[in-house]
């Protein structure tokens, strides 16, 4: 019910002007005074009418949003949409079960959020330039790369970071680390007690978060774990890595994905001081 | 029926962001470009719009408005607020005054993308005078000022203002009737046993 003192036709025209966006300052002030406690229902109805007309006049074709803008919008979304699958409490609880983790918990959680945000941005950016992920046959089969890993670890510029629980940790703790050399563009993941996957149903995929390069995580390769105990998997970075900030493991459909929704992100290794 | 991405977002399904951007990213970007003078500002505006969309997604009610209409409404409101704060006038050089073909048929696909309300709006716009159609198009679609429209169409300023505002009211009234007609048709189609509710004003 409208309680305005203005004649209906006059306030309705002002509301129409507001919906169009053509009110001048004095008209807007007048409208605000008349409806100090809130606009009447007809205001929303006129706005819907203007929106519908705008849609009608726009036709079916829109210009595509620029990719960089889409990425920024997706990054923002993480801040404003509560994650229904959030499991940060699980990360904290599980942290005690990661004896090799050397990064302070608070920092690790912050990195987790940052890395997840970047991954999410990548996922929602959804550049579909490539027709699909890696083919199932391209998956790296986990095997003994222990000697090569040891050699790499002997180099001066290598980094070694421990795995910590991601946003959706495994039911049982998984230990291990990532050894990476930016100079050699080579690295290995080591997992202890990583669940064996069924490659016909799902595969693991590594993502390398490298803000020095871009906000887009780099696809680090799809792989399977076929044996219990310790397994070592070579990293298969699809792009040159400049300064990795974190490594994240997601579980994806067979063949992996170009765009990860991060619904399952069990492990994260953050490179932090 | 297509699942509402806004409902998914409101429930915390972040994977819906991608779908939302697929579905409405171009719409919002095109709207912003029409309303904002330069690309940088348009990009800022798009970010603002989507932040509000994420925050307001829970208020989306498909019984009140189509999803595309809801998104366009949020976008327009932000763009209008933004312009008001910046006190900027649109650049008329970029505005086309091509005659509006309100009867142009963009097909079923457009109705699916834009929603039934857009189809109704188009139909109702066709019932207005050609001059009113032009004024509303420039005003609503391009966000042109009264002065700009008056200059372009050689009309008195007061006429432009009343054509735009009364034109929108007429459009709303026409769309109400269309919606009522659709509702009535639905009731008739549902057979004699249907409960017929009294019709009245929607506002």
The pLDDT tens digits for B163-203 are 999 999 999 999 988 776 666 665 555 444 333 333 333 33
Task: State the DSSP string of B60-97.
Answer: --TTTS-HHHHHHHHHHHHHHHHHHHHT----GGG---
Whole-angstrom distance, CA of residue A45 vs CA of residue A30: 20
Packing angle, helices B157-189 and A8-20, rounded to 10: 90
Tokens of residue A139, six digits? 């998956």
Alpha carbon of residue B98 to chain centroid: 19
CA angle (B51 as vertex; B49, B52 as ends), nearest 5? 65
A237 and A264 Cβ atoms separated by less than 8 Å: no
Select from A201, A216, A270, A259 the least CA-distant residue to A68.
Answer: A216
- Residues A144-163 have pLDDT tens digits of 577 788 888 888 889 999 99
* A69·B29 Cβ contact <8 A: yes
- Residue B73 sits in a domain whose CATH number is 1.10.1740.10
- The reply to whether B31 and B66 lie within a common domain is yes
Whole-angstrom distance, CA of residue B31 vs CA of residue B123: 21
- The reply to whether B127 and B75 lie within a common domain is no
Alpha helices in chain A (DSSP H): 8-20, 25-34, 41-58, 67-80, 88-95, 105-125, 146-153
Domain boundary among B21, B53, B88: B88
Domain boundary among B88, B123, B146: B88
Domain boundary among B54, B88, B122: B88
- The reply to whether B2 and B74 lie within a common domain is yes
Alpha carbon of residue A73 to chain centroid: 12
Identify whether B63 is part of a domain. yes
A159 and A184 Cβ atoms separated by less than 8 Å: no
Closest Cα in chain A, distance from residue B190 (Å): 28
| Total domains, chain B | 2
* A59·B51 Cβ contact <8 A: no
Which residue in B has a C-alpha nearest to residue A259's C-alpha?
A: B18
Closest Cα in chain B, distance from residue A19 (Å): 8
Mutate to test the interface with A, among B10, B11, B14 (most CBs of A within 10 A): B14
The pLDDT, as a whole number, for residue A17 is: 94
Q: Which residue in the set A45, A52, A65 is minimally distant from B26, CB to CB?
A: A65
Identify whether B171 is part of a domain. yes
Q: Which residues of B touch A50 (CB under 8 A)?
A: 73, 76, 140, 168
Tokens of residue B147, six digits? 């002065």
Whole-angstrom distance, CA of residue B119 vs CA of residue B122: 5
Judged by CB atoms within 8 Å, which residues 109-148 of B form the interface with A? 109-110, 113-115, 117-122, 125, 136-137, 139-141, 143, 145-146
* Edge-to-edge strand ranges of the sheet holding A230-234: A159-162, A175-181, A186-192, A230-234
* Edge-to-edge strand ranges of the sheet holding A164-165: A140-141, A218-224, A203-209, A246-252, A267-270, A164-165
Identify whether B95 is part of a domain. no
Select from A45, A37, A53 the least CA-distant residue to A16.
Answer: A45
- Residues A58-108 have pLDDT tens digits of 876 678 888 888 888 887 787 788 766 543 332 222 223 333 333 334 444
Q: Within an 8 Å CB–CB cutoff, is residue B101 touching chain A?
A: no
Give the C-alpha distances (Å, rounded to integers) separating A111 from A106, A122, A167, A188. 9, 16, 11, 21
* B125·A53 Cβ contact <8 A: yes
Identify whether B67 is part of a domain. yes
Q: Which residues of A touch B80 (CB under 8 A)?
A: 18, 21
- The reply to whether B55 and B123 lie within a common domain is no
- The reply to whether B84 and B1 lie within a common domain is yes
Closest Cα in chain B, distance from residue A231 (Å): 32
- The reply to whether B61 and B125 lie within a common domain is no
Enclosing domain of residue B164: 112-190
A34 and B157 Cβ atoms separated by less than 8 Å: no
* A50·B76 Cβ contact <8 A: yes
Alpha helices in A127-187 (DSSP H): 146-153
Identify whether B197 is part of a domain. no
Q: Within an 8 Å CB–CB cutoff, is residue B53 touching chain A?
A: no
Q: What averages of pLDDT result for each successive group of 10 residues across chain B (203 residues)?
A: 83 86 93 87 93 92 91 94 70 42 49 72 92 93 89 92 94 85 57 35 34
Give the C-alpha distances (Å, rounded to integers) separating A48 from B68, B71, B155, B169, B202. 10, 10, 27, 11, 13
Mean pLDDT, chain B, whole residue set: 79
Identify whether B7 is part of a domain. yes
- The reply to whether B83 and B150 lie within a common domain is no
Tokens of residue B172, six digits? 């709303």
* A46·B169 Cβ contact <8 A: yes
Identify whether B201 is part of a domain. no
- The reply to whether B77 and B126 lie within a common domain is no
CA angle (B169 as vertex; B165, B174 as ends), nearest 5? 145
Closest Cα in chain B, distance from residue A125 (Å): 7
- Residue B185 sits in a domain whose CATH number is 1.10.10.10
Identify whether B93 is part of a domain. no
- Residues A12-66 have pLDDT tens digits of 999 999 999 988 888 988 888 888 888 888 999 999 999 999 999 887 667 888 8
Q: How many Cβ atoms are within 10 Å of B25's Cβ, its own excluded?
A: 23
Q: How many Cβ atoms are within 10 Å of B55's Cβ, its own excluded?
A: 14
The pLDDT, as a whole number, for residue B181 is: 66
Q: Which residue in the set A46, A70, A259 is minimally distant from B172, CB to CB?
A: A46
């Amino acid at each position: 019910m409208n309680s305005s003192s203005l004649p209906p036709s006059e306030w309705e025209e002002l509301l129409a002007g507001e919906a169009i966006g053509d009110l001048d300052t004095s008209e807007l002030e007048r409208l605000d005074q008349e409806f100090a406690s809130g606009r009447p229902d007809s205001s929303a109805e006129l706005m819907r009418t203007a929106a519908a007309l705008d849609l009608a006049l726009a036709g079916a074709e829109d210009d595509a949003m620029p990719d960089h803008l889409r990425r920024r919008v997706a990054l923002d979304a993480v801040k404003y949409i509560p994650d229904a699958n959030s499991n940060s409490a699980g990360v904290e609880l599980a942290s005690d079960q990661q004896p090799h983790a050397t990064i302070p918990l608070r920092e690790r959680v912050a990195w987790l959020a940052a890395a997840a945000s970047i991954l999410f941005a990548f996922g929602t950016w959804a550049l579909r330039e490539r027709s699909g992920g890696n083919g199932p046959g391209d998956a790296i089969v986990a095997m003994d790369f222990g000697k090569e890993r040891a050699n790499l670890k002997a180099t001066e510029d290598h980094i070694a970071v421990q795995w910590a629980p991601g946003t959706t940790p495994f039911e049982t703790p998984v230990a291990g680390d990532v050894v990476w050399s930016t100079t050699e563009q080579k690295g290995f993941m080591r997992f202890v007690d990583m669940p064996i996957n069924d490659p016909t149903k799902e595969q693991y995929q590594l993502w390398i978060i490298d803000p020095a390069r871009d906000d887009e995580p780099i696809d680090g390769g799809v792989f399977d774990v076929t044996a219990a105990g310790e397994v070592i998997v070579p990293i298969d970075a699809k792009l040159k890595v400049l300064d990795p900030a974190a490594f994240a493991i997601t579980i994806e459909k067979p063949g992996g994905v170009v765009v990860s929704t991060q619904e399952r992100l069990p492990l994260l290794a953050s490179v932090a001081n | 029926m297509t699942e509402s991405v806004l409902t998914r977002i409101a429930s915390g399904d972040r994977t819906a962001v991608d779908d939302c951007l697929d579905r409405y990213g171009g719409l919002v970007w095109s709207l912003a470009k029409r309303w904002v003078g330069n690309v940088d500002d348009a990009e800022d505006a798009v970010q603002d719009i989507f932040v509000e969309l994420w925050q307001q997604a829970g208020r989306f009610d498909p019984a009140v408005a189509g999803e595309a209409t809801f998104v366009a409404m949020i976008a327009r409101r932000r763009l209008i607020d933004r312009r008001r704060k910046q006190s900027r006038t649109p650049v008329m050089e970029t505005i086309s005054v091509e005659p509006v073909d309100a009867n142009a048929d963009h097909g079923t696909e457009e109705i699916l993308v834009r929603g039934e309300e857009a189809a109704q709006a188009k139909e109702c716009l066709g019932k207005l005078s050609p001059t009113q159609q032009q004024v509303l198009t420039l005003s609503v679609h391009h966000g042109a000022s009264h002065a700009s429209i008056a200059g372009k169409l050689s009309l008195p300023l007061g006429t432009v203002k009343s054509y735009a505002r009364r034109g929108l009211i007429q459009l709303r009234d026409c769309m109400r009737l269309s919606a009522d007609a659709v509702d009535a048709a639905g009731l008739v189609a549902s057979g004699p046993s249907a409960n017929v509710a009294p019709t009245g004003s929607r506002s």
